[in-house]
Structure 1
Amino acid sequence: MNEISPVGCLFPRRPRSAGRARAFVREFLAAVPDGDRFAEVGELLVSELVANAIEHARTPAGRLIEVTCAVRDGRLRIEVHDASTDRPLRRDATPSDTGGRGLLLVEALSAAWGCCPRAGGVGKYVWVLIDPQGAVGSQPHVPVSTSSR
C-alpha cells in the first residue's frame, strides 16, 4: 500500500464533531487504495478519541480539535490534537456505567496507541495505529512520539 501524506481537519469542541470527524476519516479513506479495510475501525476510534477530547479536555473556550490521518507502512494513523495537557486515563467502568469504555475500545481495536505533547504547541495529541487485518495486540502508550506532520 502506498504511503498517504497526512491530511488534517479542524473541529469545534461540540458533540456533533465526533460525527463530523467520522465523515472526515471516511472521506480520507475513500481516496486511499483499499482504504475501506480501515473504515469501520478508523471511524469508531476517531469518534471515541474526539469524544474524549470534547468531554475531558479542559481548554479555554474557542479552542479547536484537530484530526489528522495518514497511511504509513500499511497502517492508518489517526491523531487527535487538543489544547489540554491532561493525558487520557482508562477507566474501569461498571456494567451500569453509560460511559468510560472508549480507551478500552482503542486498546482492543488498535495495533498501538499513545499520547504525546504537541511539539511547538499547546496541548497534546492522542494517536492510534490501525492495522488493516485488525488489532494485533494493542500496546498502549508505545513510546513513539513523532507526529505525522
Structure 2
Amino acid sequence: MADTVTNQVRSRIMSRVRNKDTKAEVALRKALHAMGFRYRLNRRGLPGTPDLVFPRLGAILFVHGCFWHRHSGCRRATTPSSNVEFWAEKFTRNVTRDARNIADLRALGWRVGVVWECEVLGDSPDRLLPRIATFLRGDDQELQSAKAHDPVAGRR
C-alpha cells in the first residue's frame, strides 16, 4: 500500500514525534517527584540516554513508548500497513538497541527498569507506582513489568 501523504507532509508528521517529555514520561516524573524521589533527566553520558536517572539509588528508568519499543500484547504496538519491511527492520533495530543499552548500563553497575507508556497512561497507574518505589528503594537489578514482555512477539 502506498503512503497517502507526500514526503513533506510525512516528514512534518514524524518531526513532531517526541523523544523526550512525552505525556507518559511527564506523568511519571510528577508522580515520582511527589513521592520524594529525585532524579536527573536524559543523561547523555550514559548508554541510551536514560529518561530518568537516580544517581544516589544507582537506578535508571526508561519510559518506553509501546509502539516504538514493541510492547508485547499491547494494543498500541501496531505495525503500519504500508512499507511493512521498513517498519519491521526499524522495530528490530529499536529492540536490539534497547537490549544493548540495558546490558551496557548493567555492566556499568546500574539497576535498570523499563516502564511502558500504557502502564503509566493506562487504567491502573496506582499499581505501577508502588512497584517502581519498591524497585528504587530496594536492590533488585530490574523492574518487572506487570504485563508480559517479549519484544519480538509484539509485532502484528
TM-score (norm 2): 0.31
Structure of higher CA gyration radius: 2
TM-score (norm 1): 0.32
Larger proportion of strand:
1
Q: Which has the higher contact order (CA 8 A, sep 6+)?
A: 2
